Amino acid sequence: MEANWIRALMVVGFIFFPLLVQGRVRHYNFNVVMKKANRLCATKSIVTVNGHSPGPTLYAREGDTVLVRVVNHVKYNVSIHWHGIRQLRTGWADGPAYIAQCPIQPGQNYVYNFTITGQRGTLFWHAHILWLRATVHGAIVILPKRGVPYPFPKPDVEQVVILGEWWKSDTEAVINEALKSGLAPNVSDAHTINGHPGPISSSCHTQDVFVAVYEIK
């Protein structure tokens, strides 16, 4: 009787222990699409992930496997780099175009498949071809394994802050002009926090302001 119990426990352990150690699989869909954006009293079309810039925040725990299916709906070749992620035997998921992979061509897709090992904190992802990273970027939040505390007191709230830049001109036109002339590319028109330059102009700043609402318990 007792032996049966032990055997049953062992079977359960063999099934669930690897799940605990290996972590979960996190699925994300990145649709690379054009989107009209209004900043600094001007509208232009930008390359985005899922219509947002910055794009979606990836959440994972240490030990999780991340699967990101990137579908390219724009006219540019695209690749995405997972900045700071250690690619252990998954070099083809790292992202730099023409270094780790051929870029994803218009109408094509690619699945990035990597496991997060031995690191936690907030990193970021960005396009790794042309100047698409100007608008194609976002955060990766890696939480400790379940049950493992932060190495500091638990914060009341957490907010991802992404510092960026905004050009009124098309950013591909900016870099192409620089490559042709051999001069430095034009400097940006504003710095941004989470994609918003702030209320620089008095009249039309509806999309220029970043707002965060917190409820402190």
Ligand X SMILES: *[C@@H]1O[C@H](CO)[C@@H](O)[C@H](O)[C@H]1NC(C)=O
Site for ligand X, rule CB under 6 A = 67, 77, 102-103, 105, 111, 113, 169, 173-174, 177, 186
The token pair at 192 is 């941004």
CA distance 7 to 1: 10
CA distance 167 to 163: 14
* Ramachandran assignment for 86, one of left (phi > 0), alpha (psi -120 to 50 degrees), beta (any other): beta
Output Rg (C-alpha) for the chain, integer angstroms: 21
Burial (CB < 10 A; 0-12, 13-18, 19+), residue 199, is exposed
Question: From ligand X, Cu ion, none, which one binds at residue 148 (CB under 5 to 8 Å depending on kind)?
Answer: none
Question: From ligand X, Cu ion, none, which one binds at residue 186 (CB under 5 to 8 Å depending on kind)?
Answer: ligand X
Question: From Cu ion, ligand X, none, which one binds at residue 105 (CB under 5 to 8 Å depending on kind)?
Answer: ligand X
Binders in 80-109 for Cu ion, by CB under 5 A: 81, 83
Choice between 77 and 135, CB closer to ligand X: 77
Which residue minimizes CB distance to ligand X?
Answer: 169
Shortest spacing between CB 128 and Cu ion, in angstroms: 7
Binding site for Cu ion (CB under 5 A): 81, 83
